[in-house]
Chains A and B, each alone.
Chain A
Amino acid sequence: MATLKLELLNLIYGGKGTPSMHAVRDVDLVVGDGEFCVFLGPSGCGKTSTLRMIAGLETPTSGVVRLDGRVINDLYPGERDIAMVFQSYALYPHLTVRGHLELPLRAHRVPKEERERRVTEIADLLQIADLLEARPRQLSGGQAQRTAIGRALIRQPKLFLLDEPLTNLDARLRLETRAALKRLQNELGITTIYVTHDQEEALSLADTIVVMNDGRVQQVATSRELYGHPSNRFVAGFIGTPPMNFLAATVQPSANGHIDENPLALVTAAFSLPLSATSIEASGVSGRSRLVPGAALTLGVRPEDLIVGPPDGVDGPRGRVVVVEPQGDERIISVALDGGDSAETVWKVRAPKHGPSAKVAIGDVVGLAVRPRGLRLFDKETEERVL
């Protein structure tokens, strides 16, 4: 168990003739003792590279990796007391399950009796006790994965790294393994870093999620915070299915606003929306000073923060239903907004299967109301959230 600290970590691949790639940029991060931390981001965002630097498989171009306060930059991977599960599991065809579990213990010259005791212990924990003499080709995907986890955990490492460990499993097994992994981490209390591109995995597993894009950390937060208070447009768009609806907007003096309240409105290609003082007050974001006439913004609303209603009498966008996708207990309704003709103006709405929106069909003209506090605004230039 340990605390991991990354200080201004950078990684540049290539150079000297070949085009270089700045894979990881200025990553500053603390992962607390016993924490389950997930690195989340699209492929190529630098999450795996960061993990590999922590493991010692990649040498940082600059920056410091500290484990329990000790700088481990120059330690060989095996000396760092860090274990890792690879996406491919990295099992060897020439070794049995027992052979794999014993491998790290042999490397550290653990005596035979102790080795046998630990193998039995971990095999029981992971329910692979009856597979100890099997070879990788005889194992199912789930069994191979548990073997890889066992091999990593048998050494009782300070830090446990997992690189997309569920990618090669089928959907159902993935759910089961996810739950098992969470329980295991809870019981053992090992500080864990888990890399994935799957937000659902991240949301369900993590104590803390580190969202990365373009080599940079975008936001470090709990899943709830990440969903409710995304720090910028990228995070807002990356978390949530279907993703948040965005539309370019400018702040303009409201034509029909009450002078005494707030004379501002958001104007988009498709609709305009009065900016009420209450909604601005409710958001604790300091960027509200940027809400001045002429400000260029991006407006965002999550599909679940929209309510489908009759076309008249709603203070929001109007449009025509173009697609209805049933999803079990709800429906995803795509609405092409009036006055717009780009992909940006087709908004998705998550609507309950039952209720007033249940009868909406393709071709209907509907109005969309934004739930209170459902509105998000981002600076067009910096993409930081301002509301």
Chain B
Amino acid sequence: MNAQPRSGRFSQALWYLPVLLITAFFTFPLIWIVMTALKPPIDVFAYPPKFVFSPTLDNYRRVLQSDYMGSLGNSVIIALVSAAFSVVLGTLTAYGFSRYPLRGKDNLFFWILSLRMLPVIAVIVPYFLLFQRVGLTDTVVAMMLVYSVFNISFTVWLLKGFFDEVPREMEEAAKMDGYGPWGVFTRVALPLVIPGIATAMIFNVVQSINEFLLAFVLTQRKATTAPIALLNFLTPMGLDWGGISAAASMLVAPVIILAIIVRKHLIRGMSFGQLE
């Protein structure tokens, strides 16, 4: 690669320019939040905005001592459990849809997907009444269940595409080797769709961590999630921009950490099942 002609390297550098611009465009809100979180109150409202200031951890200190941490914990637990549960169930379902004959398969598959298309507002009242009757209002378990409904349908839809891409010969070869259906699934199909599983995991976590409307209605005190708790920074004395920024940046952190862990598989996963 070092032997590349100069013009080649130059044009390669030129390609980085738009890439950098686009990256900057998309990461700007995140950078802005982190910056605001680190600013002393006086600099938050400074105009024109200050890019050079003496950073302080006061905002983070305040958030760490508040009730927000409990809600953040709820959010993370709900998101992870719901995502994991959805991936396990969704993977098995998707494999079944992809590989086994089933009467009314297409209709059934569309029905599962349509759960994801449901406007949240339409189901909010039924959910509320349902959980009230079974005594699950304001519980973490209820939120896990509700989010799983949306996450499972998405996971099934995503992973069916991945399983469809696994060449049949690869599974048949394992059958010839002496593996039964479960062996074929765990030894061949599953390892080949890991990028899809990683993608589904990330999407599910993001979905659950961001969700506002359902959480707003279905939780009151104990099971409040972080997006709802962010509202507490809206005080009678005005909006606490520093605090809300610090809290929001902490909400983003789990997603970023997860994305870094699975990033090796994520790129192939995002291209939706192209197994080279």
Contacts and interface: CB of A to CB of B under 8 A. Distances in A.
B177 A107 contact: yes
A346 interface: no
B178 A108 contact: yes
A262 interface: no
B132 to A, nearest CB: 47
B184 to A, nearest CB: 9
B187 interface: yes
Contacts of A103: 174, 177, 187
Assign chain A's interface to a size class. 20 to 34
A76 B175 contact: yes
Contacts of A82: 176
A296 to B, nearest CB: 46
Nearest to B177: A104
Nearest to A88: B169
Interface in A117-140: 137
Contacts of A152: 176
Nearest to B166: A92
B176 A78 contact: yes
A55, A90, A137, A151 pick with most chain B CB within 10 angstroms: A90
A57 interface: yes
A355 B175 CA distance: 58
Contact of A84 (B173, B179, B187, B192): B173
Which applies to chain B's interface (DSSP): helix, strand, loop or mixed? Answer: helix
A78, A84, A93 pick with most chain B CB within 10 angstroms: A78
Contacts of A93: 192, 275-276
Contacts of A90: 167, 169-170, 172-173
Nearest to B188: A92
B167, B177, B276 pick with most chain A CB within 10 angstroms: B177
A27 to B, nearest CB: 21
A137 B179 CA distance: 24
A92 B177 contact: no
Interface in A152-173: 152, 155
B178 A104 contact: yes
B165 to A, nearest CB: 12
Contacts of A108: 178
B175 A92 contact: no
B167, B172, B173, B174 pick with most chain A CB within 10 angstroms: B173
A77 B172 contact: yes
B173 A86 contact: yes
Nearest to B167: A88
Assign chain B's interface to a size class. 20 to 34
A78 B180 contact: yes
A290 B177 CA distance: 53
B183 interface: yes
Interface in A35-57: 55-57
Interface in B19-69: none
A86 B178 contact: no
Interface in A45-80: 55-57, 76-79
B173 A78 contact: no
B180 A151 contact: no
Contacts of B167: 88, 90
Nearest to A57: B172
A210 interface: no
Given A92-B192, A93-B192, A79 B173 contact: no
Contacts of B194: 94
A151 B177 contact: yes
Contacts of B187: 103
B238 interface: no
Interface string B68-96: 00000000000000000000000000000
A79 B178 CA distance: 6
A116 B177 CA distance: 17
Contact of B178 (A87, A94, A107): A107
Given A86-B172, A104-B177, A92 B183 contact: no
B191 interface: yes
Nearest to B183: A107
A92 B169 contact: no
A251 interface: no
A86 B194 CA distance: 24
A83 interface: yes
Given A86-B169, A92-B188, A92-B191, A57 B178 contact: no
A82 B176 CA distance: 7
A56 B172 CA distance: 10
Contacts of B183: 107
A192 to B, nearest CB: 15
B176 A77 contact: yes
B174 A87 contact: no
Given A76-B175, A76-B180, A90-B167, 11 more contacts: A78-B176, A78-B180, A84-B176, A86-B169, A86-B172, A88-B167, A88-B169, A92-B192, A94-B191, A104-B178, A151-B173
19 contacts: A55-B172, A55-B176, A57-B172, A78-B175, A78-B180, A86-B169, A86-B172, A88-B169, A90-B169, A90-B170, A92-B170, A92-B188, A93-B275, A94-B192, A103-B187, A104-B177, A107-B178, A108-B178, A137-B276
Interface of A: 55-57, 76-79, 82-84, 86-88, 90, 92-94, 103-104, 107-108, 137, 151-152, 155
Complex A-B, nearest 9 residue pairs according to Cβ-Cβ distance, in ascending order: A107-B178, A78-B178, A90-B173, A104-B177, A94-B191, A77-B175, A90-B169, A86-B169, A84-B176
